[in-house]
A and B are shown apart, each in its own frame.
Chain A
Amino acid sequence: MHEMSIAQSILDIIKQEMEKRGLTKLIRVKIKHGRLTNTVPEALETCFMALTVKTPLESAVFELEEVPALYRCFNCGREFSPDDTSRLLIPCPGCNEEFGHTVLAGKELFIEYIEAE
């Protein structure tokens, strides 16, 4: 259940950022998570709710946005974003190469912004 560790890390960062600015009530938090990070949005949201219940951070809107995977082909260098990243072999739409693509995006996991007062 590694979503709990992630939720705890998110919470730690939010608390630091709020304290720095003297904010006490959290209204919204926006998280961006890459397609390839194996983050399960529902599980992450549940963990965040569980950790914030009966605290000043309770009832904030927890917004998640997925960052699609972007690859650069190992063979022809073309950049492409496959619809289905659950498949192991992802053929390049340009040359059909299936192996060794470089991941350009999709491994992100960060807090974009918070809204608080």
Chain B
Amino acid sequence: MKVSVIRNVLEANDRLAQELKDLMARRGILSLNLMSSPGAGKTSLLERTLADLRGEFKMAVIEGDLQTDNDARRVAATGAQAVQINTEGGCHLNSSMILEALKQLDLDGLDILFIENVGNLVCPAEFDVGEDYKVTLLSVAEGDDKPEKYPLMFNISAVSLLNKIDLLPYVDFDMKRAEGFMRALNKDIEVLPVSCRTGEGLDAWYAWLRAKRAAKKPA
């Protein structure tokens, strides 16, 4: 017997992602999905952001890694709430993991939720976790050809931070080339050069956060 199915393979994740979106909308929480290769500086960006904007916003972090709670401990040191998810080999976070992790967070009065995805420039791009925006980091040490090699990630991101610009004198990274690739993939992407080590360029990132936060806040 032939049965016509026509069902989206990722419908279960999409349904949970929508639940998460609804929950965040009701509570007026800005939710961001932070993605990059391992070592590009996601946790360093969060450490800076959580410390610098501590007086301005109430923020929480969900950390995704294969193993260890190192990152949750690093960001919790800033005083923010942090929950660690260990995927035990899984290459990405999905919506059911986020729903589970949210049970451990106090959402009252929360302004911004950061979801730090598993370090991986490929698979996390395919799985929605109910975020308002996808944020991609690329560090200059990785090479300016990465947007060309891993296009989907940059195609779907609202903003891309080019991190570690303090290393530019020591690496062959062409900012214009990287930015050109990103814009070819996504004409609306915002590209922000930053250094989480020196703090250079972070003001533009904070301005982006403030604008998106203000737009999200319920009336």
Residues of chain A touching chain B, judged by Cβ–Cβ distance below 8 Å, are 1-2, 5-6, 9-10, 12-14, 17, 21, 23, 31, 36-38, 74, 88-89, 98-100, 109-117
Contacts and interface: CB of A to CB of B under 8 A. Distances in A.
A86 B5 CA distance: 30
B126 A38 contact: yes
Interface string B123-166: 10011000000000000000000011001100000000000000
Contact of B127 (A5, A36, A117): A5
Given A2-B91, A88-B151, A99-B184, A21 B3 contact: yes
B187 A111 contact: no
B12 interface: yes
Nearest to A100: B187
B6 A112 contact: yes
A37 B126 contact: yes
Contacts of B37: none
A98 to B, nearest CB: 7
Contacts of A38: 122, 126, 152
Interface residues of B, number: 30
Contacts of B92: 2, 5
A31 B52 CA distance: 48
Contact of B12 (A12, A113, A115): A12
Contacts of A36: 152
Given A2-B92, A5-B94, A110-B8, A23 B181 contact: no
B108 interface: no
B137 to A, nearest CB: 20
Contacts of A99: 183-184, 187
B9 interface: yes
B142 to A, nearest CB: 17
B219 interface: no
A99 B10 CA distance: 29
B7 A113 contact: no
A6 B10 contact: yes
Contacts of B10: 6, 9, 109
B2 interface: yes
Contacts of B9: 6, 9-10, 13, 31, 109-111
A9 B95 CA distance: 13
Contact of A111 (B7, B90, B126, B127): B7
B126 to A, nearest CB: 6
